[in-house]
């Protein structure tokens, strides 16, 4: 796998983890969600 592809996959994984955790935090703390929150996952 070319390095650029690997970096792209790592970014996608990190981004989806971030979105998942932001959704979890907002659910637990009742904060407003990020626009696309964890609803997509």
Cα–Cα separations (whole angstroms), residue 19 to 1, 2, 3, 4? 26, 26, 24, 22
Among residues of the chain, what percentage have pLDDT more than 90? Answer: 0
pLDDT, tens digit, 9 for 90 and up, residues 18-28: 888 888 877 77
pTM, full prediction: 0.47
> What's the structural domain count of the chain?
1
Task: Give the range of the structural domain holding residue 12, as residue numbers without chain letter.
Answer: 1-41
């Amino acid at each position: 796998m070319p390095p650029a592809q690997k970096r792209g996959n790592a970014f996608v994984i990190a981004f989806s983890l971030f979105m998942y955790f932001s959704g979890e935090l907002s659910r637990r703390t009742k904060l407003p969600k990020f626009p696309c929150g964890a609803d997509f996952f």
